[in-house]
Structure 1
Amino acid sequence: MIFRRRKNRDSDDVVEELDQESEESEESEDDAERADEGPDAEGVDDSEESDELDVDDLDGRDWRGAGPYDVAEVDLDEDPPEGLPRIDLGSIIVTGFPGAELRLQVDEATQAIVSAMLVHDDSALEIGAYAAPRSGGYWPELRQDLIEATTEAGGSVALTEGPFGVELRRIIPVTTPTGEEGYQPSRMWVVEGPRWLLRGIVYGQAALEEGVEPPVAQFLTAFRSVVVRRGDQAMGPGDLLALKLPEDLTPSE
């Protein structure tokens, strides 16, 4: 696994970089065209599939049987599956996979790590943990806010059944660093645990796929393997749980 530190980069920058890399292969050309078609692109439709989804039933289930985990549920002294190294980022402990690159995005003003992203080929998974009410049920509220914000931005939203219940699929209009207009597809996985909410956003080629077959599968396994360390501090719902640079890793600029 490659460890790299990136300063003041948001997810749009990373997705643009992934798009540029994917253009080098013939297989990704069709997928790029699908992403550029706009809010009605194939694979993200906010009409019939969303209407038939029983969101109340999906929201009422427990989806953490195979992870992600709370720190109290895991013996960190034991080796993770397949002997892959765990990377302790404070509030989350991430287990990557061969060939994946971990990027930590740092706010230049505060030097705080604001995002952790696993990147592999032309896909990426952004991971973040947030405080949530003890009673649970925060995802439906947050989801509605995201839907409204996406619609106001001129984007398209679809709710589908994913590996963690309700999966939010979005296509958002963006402007690339070169000034070109385009659309950014994403898939959002959300799981709630004891007083925390873990969010994973899939970008790139994996965001255009329907199911969980490759290239989605490796990111799904990595997301299931995340361990959340909430802490006992009082926090408001939606507050980002602090990330920190691992002491045993040396960042490269």
Structure 2
Amino acid sequence: MFGRRRKKRDQETERAAEETRPKRRGAAGAVSFDNEVEPERPSAQPDKAEDRYRIGGPWDTTEGAPEAKRMDLGSMLLPTDQGAEIQVNVAQDDKGKQKIIGVTLVRGKTALQVQPFAAPKSSGLWDEMREELREQVTRQGGKVEDHEGTFGPELRAVIPIKDKKTEDGRQLGQRVRFIGVDGPRWVLRGVIRGEGASKPEVMSEIEQVFAGIVVVRGDQPAPPSELLPITVPKEIQEQMATAAKQRAAQQAAQRGNAGRSPNGSAGGPPTTGGPVQA
């Protein structure tokens, strides 16, 4: 009996020594002196459960995004090696000053508008955004349904086209996909129109563009749902300014001809900057 107790004490002593044996760390992770390689544990767990929907992107700037040519737009790095034309979306504020409200990537007959928003650290915001979008589409007389897509829950809708009807008076509509993903303290929203909202083979192509985006959240505080600042390179600003002058000249000409031509009319404020070929 005493022999069994002594053997048990020896085994416990050996286990204790094993647990306290010093280890050295190497490039492959933690390596013990017994040459038992242990996998390196992640330094931090994902902030949100929704991160599982973006295993292949979109990416946060702190993550290891695949190497690609991207355009720096401040809060976003947009892929430019997939032949997409980049358009800057602008609107006028209360003081008449133009503000960038998003960026649209046009590829063939598909358009993808993207907007990065601030979000809470511990919970997703895309769920709330979908409900707001659903209400907006319904209010406009459109139809919307839920769908489980590549990036998780999305909305697929048919939105009425203003002043567009068939010869027999039926309202025309366009198919639209609302996609989005939650990241660490941000949410990236995409609106897809054209073939990318209806043809499966084109859907996959535009999703790859969306997945290649890198979001630069930054350390600046921002309330949830606030659009993160989008900036454009100087050459694009110059193109936008030139395009704005051309539109202003055209509108002035239209106003000047309004009294002489039945087709003369004044245009509204520009909503899209000049295209930039990526």
Instruction: Give TM class, smaller chain.
Output: 0.5 to 0.7
1:164 aligned onto 2:151: yes
Could you tell me the TM-score, scaled by structure 2's length? 0.61
Alignment-derived partner of residue 207 in structure 2: 220
Alignment-derived partner of residue 239 in structure 2: 251
Deviation at 1:147, TM superposition (A): 1.3
Q: Which residue, out of 209, 217, 225, partners 1:238?
A: 225
Alignment-derived partner of residue 107 in structure 1: 91
Instruction: Name which of structure 1's ranges 99-108 and 86-95 shifts more when overlaid on structure 2.
Output: 99-108
Maintained 8 Å contact 1:129/1:241:
yes
Question: Per the alignment, in what secondary structure is the counterpart of residue 136 of structure 1?
Answer: coil
Higher relative contact order, structure no. (Cα contacts within 8 Å, ≥ 6 residues apart): 1
Deviation at 1:79, TM superposition (A): 4.2
Instruction: Pick closer, same or farther for the CA change 1:79–1:208 going to 2, 3 Å.
Output: closer
Could you tell me the TM-score, scaled by structure 1's length? 0.66
Deviation at 1:149, TM superposition (A): 2.1
Matches within 5 A, 1:34-113: 62-74=52-64, 79-80=67-68, 85-108=69-92, 109-113=96-100
Alignment-derived partner of residue 150 in structure 1: 137
Identity of aligned residues (%): 36
| Deviation by residue 1:105-139 (Cα, 9 ceiling, x = unmatched) | 22243222111011122111111100111112211
Structure 1: segments with no counterpart, 5+ residues: 1-58
Alignment-derived partner of residue 193 in structure 1: 183
Deviation at 1:144, TM superposition (A): 1.4
1:184 aligned onto 2:174: yes
Distance in 2, Cα, partners of 1:61 & 1:230: 15
Distance in 2, Cα, partners of 1:74 & 1:243: 22
Which has the higher Rg, Structure 1 or Structure 2? 2
State the AA in 2 paired with 1:174. Answer: I
State the AA in 2 paired with 1:251. Answer: Q
What is the count of residue pairs matched by the alignment? 185
Structure 2: segments with no counterpart, 5+ residues: 1-48, 244-278
Maintained 8 Å contact 1:134/1:194:
yes
